[in-house]
Amino acid sequence: MAETKQESSLHVVVFPWLAFGHMIPFLDLSKRLAQRGHDVTFVSTPRNAARLATIPPELSARIRVVMLELPEVNGLPEGAECTADVPLEKVELLKKAFDGLAAPFAGLVAEACAGSSSDTAGFLRKPDWIVLDFAQNWIWPIAEEHKIECAVLLIFPAAILAYVGPKHENEAHPRRTTEEFMAQPSWIPFPSTISYRRHEADAIAAIFRPNASGVSDVDRFWQLQRPRCRLIIHRSCPEAEPRLFPLLTELFGKPVVPAGLLLPNDIDNDSVLTTDQSFLGIMQWLDEQPRRSVIYVALGSEAPVTADHVRELAHGLDLSGVRFLWALRQPVGHVGAVLPDGFEARVTGRGVVRARWVPQVRVLAHGAVGAFLTHCGWGSTVESLFRFGHPLVMLPFITDQGLIAREMTARRVGVEVPRNDDDGSFRRDDVAAAVRRVMAEGEESEAFERNARELQKVLGDEVRQEQYVDELVEYLQRYK
């Protein structure tokens, strides 16, 4: 990949929200910008910076990490620095702490613009761009004071921005009832899958109300309508979401552009296999399984999974009779055993539960894996379906996950587990039935696999995906 000429090299400050589902794609974009000869300053907190993947040596001269200490907030657990560290009800306190980074961040920007930054603790030079997340409603006065252009990178699919819509459309068509939050918004002028089930609509309505941080998530979103925000960038592409990019550009009155899917470029680090003997054993177990016979199960780091969810899912996997590898995350705040009594003994030989970190891309790349039981986070959908063509068993929980599940169901690449429409609960029998539909031999499962492979051929085109990054760089050069 040819580097951009030095005289046109940009300095881009990249500042994600404190969630792994946000930090990882922000870092992936940072690496791609650095590969093209641009300097990137990645801003986060100390614990999060330590938990992210290391910068490849060949990019270390281009990417520097600046760490800001997260302020203490009453009620936020000690040491909590990302959404994976707290239960769902405390995420609003994390946003309150995040807002406390405004002053130290402003100090870094002021030093850089005055030419007095430290070589070790600050920005090396004035940024050309700040690429921020949805949450930093406090960055805009800082950027305006120093005349720095801003772009908002949304790691969600474009469908969620289409659902939220711009402020003026919400004022003209306010949503007050659950039914109104369930429906496709009136400003989407064509048929789509952009709607929510009842239990999801109740949850999505909450992002329109102020929380403990003093502001609603939607009010944070709507800050991207400020003039200083020159671009809205999505981790997506028109092939994944037809018709949405032109619509959003019209609705928000500024370019809404794809960064591409930021597909994983490599399989996870081999050092995991040499330093973690327990995972080496799991890979050996996978090696012994028939091709495409195992369903990989993982519900991400952000989904609000409870102990009851885990137990019902375990019973469903048991009843399905299917081989599985389960990356089990202990529910936040739960103490003690979470799996049903005797579960692991009953599934010995055909099921493996891994309660520690799993290199997900490596597992998904293994030939024994034939499907993915997922919460339908966008990152997991990109890694499994778009990268490897795996059909899905879908168990969505929050935010964009329901929208993604509806769209993937419409594309016939998998099955969504039925849920109680009022409280969102699900039954073990329905989990088992969904798993068998995707994994069992027969016309339906073959159709799911065929459709998933066809979609992967289109969206997994790495050359086209890298072209989206090239086109994004052209926007950054043009609008700086």
- Say yes or no: 186 and 250 in one domain: yes
pLDDT band at 276 (very low <50, low <70, confident <90, very high): low
Q: Is residue 305 part of a domain?
A: yes
Residue 160 domain-assigned?
yes
**292 in the same domain as 184:** no
Model confidence at 101, pLDDT cuts 50, 70, 90, reads very high
Looking only at the bridges linking them, the beta strands covering 369-374 and 392-394 are parallel
Same-domain status, 194 and 80: yes
DSSP lists the bridge partners of residue 296 as 325, 372
* Per-residue pLDDT at 298: 97
- The confidence score (pLDDT) of residue 308 equals 95
Residue 277 belongs to a domain with what CATH number?
3.40.50.2000
Q: How far, in Å, CA of 419 to CA of 407, rounded?
A: 17
Do 354 and 294 lie in a common domain?
Answer: yes
143-173 pLDDT, tens digit per residue, is 999 999 999 999 999 999 999 999 999 999 9
For residues 338 and 192, membership in a common domain is answered with no
Return the exposure string of 387-410: e unless at least 16 CB atoms fall within 10 Å of the residue's CB, then b. bbbbbbbbbbbbbbbbbbbbbbbe
Residue 350 forms part of a structural domain: yes
Query: Total domain count for the chain?
Result: 2
- Asked if residue 334 and residue 419 are part of one domain, the reply reads yes
3-state helix/strand/coil string of the chain:
CCCCCHHHCCEEEEECCCCHHHHHHHHHHHHHHHHCCCEEEEEECHHHHHHCCCCCHHHCCCEEEEECCCCCCCCCCCCCCCHHHCCHHHHHHHHHHHHCCHHHHHHHHHHHHCCCCCCCCCCCCCCCEEEECCCCCCHHHHHHHHCCEEEEEECCCHHHHHHHCCHHHHHHCCCCCHHHHHCCCCCCCCCCCCCCCHHHHHHHHHHHCCCCCCCCHHHHHHHHHCCCEEEEEECCCCCCCCCHHHHHHHHHCCCEEECCCCCCCCCCCCHHHHHCHHHHHHHHHHHCCCCCCEEEEECCCCCCCCHHHHHHHHHHHHHHCCEEEEECCCCCCCCCCCCCCCHHHHCCCCEEEECCCCCHHHHHHCCCEEEEEECCCHHHHHHHHHHHCCCEEECCCCCCHHHHHHHHHHCCCEEECCCCCCCCCCCHHHHHHHHHHHHCCCHHHHHHHHHHHHHHHHHCCHHHHHHHHHHHHHHHHHHC
Q: Looking at the structure, do residues 349 and 374 belong to the same domain, yes or no? A: yes
Q: Is the pLDDT of residue 122 over 80?
A: no
Same domain membership, residue 258 and residue 279: no
390-417 pLDDT, tens per residue? 999 999 999 899 999 999 999 999 999 9
Mark whether 444 and 399 lie in a shared domain: yes
Asked if residue 1 belongs to a domain, the reply is: no
Does 87 reside within a domain? yes
**Residue 336 in domain:** yes
The model's pLDDT over 9-46, given as tens digits with 9 standing for 90+, comes to 999 999 999 999 999 999 999 999 999 999 999 999 99
CA distance linking residue 245 with residue 257, whole number of Å: 7
Q: Mark whether 465 and 453 lie in a shared domain.
A: no
* % residues pLDDT > 70 (the chain): 95
Adjacent-strand bridge partners of 149:
129
pLDDT tens-digit readout, 219-273: 999 999 999 999 999 999 999 999 999 999 999 999 999 999 998 766 644 444 4
Shared domain for 307 and 419, answered yes or no, is yes
Return d(Cα 175, Cα 127) in angstroms, integer.
Answer: 39
Average predicted confidence (pLDDT) for the chain: 93
**Structural domain containing residue 332:** 271-459
Calculate ∠ Cα 465-33-218, nearest 5°.
Answer: 80
For residues 237 and 320, membership in a common domain is answered with no
Look at residue 278 and tell me whether its pLDDT is greater than 90: no
Q: What's the confidence (pLDDT) of residue 273?
A: 44
